[in-house]
Amino acid sequence: EAGVTQSPTHLIKTRGQQATLRCSPISGHTSVYWYQQALGLGLQFLLWYDEGEERNRGNFPPRFSGRQFPNYSSELNVNALELEDSALYLCASSPTLFTDTQYFGPGTRLTVL
Amino acid sequence: SQKIEQNSEALNIQEGKTATLTCNYTNYSPAYLQWYRQDPGRGPVFLLLIRENEKEKRKERLKVTFDTTLKQSLFHITASQPADSATYLCALRSNDYKLSFGAGTTVTVRA
């Protein structure tokens, strides 16, 4: 069974640009979660989607947005990039919104110059 | 506010010894608690889930305890090996249903 996949592996942008990160959950999983992990810091919850709907959102500005597609894959968009957005962005999936365990992808390393 | 606190210091231990990690929480009433392992630059990997009615759970060389009165979980790695070197995260589901992670404890096992 394939795990959670994320693309791209690395992304380099300049301040003010937009970044789009993609995530494919494990087959059959309906819930997708996004986290930000800045260097040396803990996981900060960003967004949670299930069945195409946004279920919860962390304390991030509106320029962080996303969506979930009918095939349950997801996209995270970050507009007007700032230097402090540089981080590892992790996507996780779970079979349903009621399932406790999350399965993480390898992450996308976003660098903002 | 809800808070999850793990050992603030990194843990350095000799191979073969037992590593004990602590996770304390405030203002949660969790039905369960989870532990994950994270290697540098990688996503966390689920290790164990313990429910509120379970005092202890084991998986190979890992042991987790859960004391809802003390609001604490202990995570033990017995007969530690250099391959156990990683950051270990505890996680709880918060009141708004999202999974919140502690900052993690970094364990280094010396050969």
SS3 (DSSP) at B108? strand
Q: Does B40 touch chain A (CB under 8 A)?
A: no
How far off is chain A from B32, nearest CA to CA, in Å? 9
Contacts of A36 by beta carbon, 8 Å cutoff, 6+ apart: A43, A44, A46, A60, A87, A88, A89, A90
pLDDT in tens, A73-99: 999 999 999 999 999 999 999 998 777
Q: Does B42 touch chain A (CB under 8 A)?
A: yes
Q: Does A102 touch chain B (CB under 8 A)?
A: yes
Query: What pLDDT is recorded for position A2?
Result: 84
Q: Taking CA atoms, what residue in A is nearest to B105?
A: A42
> pLDDT of chain A along its 113 residues, tens only?
689 999 999 999 999 999 999 999 999 999 999 999 998 788 999 999 999 999 999 999 999 999 999 999 999 999 999 999 999 999 999 998 777 789 999 999 999 99
> pLDDT of chain B along its 111 residues, tens only?
888 999 877 999 999 999 999 999 998 888 889 999 999 889 999 999 999 889 899 999 999 999 999 999 999 999 999 999 999 999 998 777 788 899 999 999 999
Q: Which residues of B touch A103 (CB under 8 A)?
A: 46
Q: In one letter, which amino acid is A99? A: T
Query: What pLDDT is recorded for position A113?
Result: 96
Nearest Cα to B89, choosing from A11, A108, A43, A34? Answer: A43
Q: Does A45 touch chain B (CB under 8 A)?
A: yes
Query: What pLDDT is recorded for position A42?
Result: 84
How far off is chain B from A93, nearest CA to CA, in Å? 12
Query: What pLDDT is recorded for position B52?
Result: 87
Is B41 within 8 Å of A4 when comparing Cβ atoms?
Answer: no
Is A101 within 8 Å of B49 when comparing Cβ atoms?
Answer: yes
Is B96 within 8 Å of A56 when comparing Cβ atoms?
Answer: yes
How far off is chain B from A99, nearest CA to CA, in Å? 11
Q: Does A65 touch chain B (CB under 8 A)?
A: no
Is A103 within 8 Å of B46 when comparing Cβ atoms?
Answer: yes
Query: What pLDDT is recorded for position B1?
Result: 81
Bond into A8 cis (ω within 30): yes
A68: tokens are 């979930």
Query: What pLDDT is recorded for position A78?
Result: 98
Q: Does A60 touch chain B (CB under 8 A)?
A: no
Contact status, residue A31 vs residue A13, Cβ threshold 8 Å: no
Mutate to test the interface with A, among B59, B101, B106 (most CBs of A within 10 A): B101
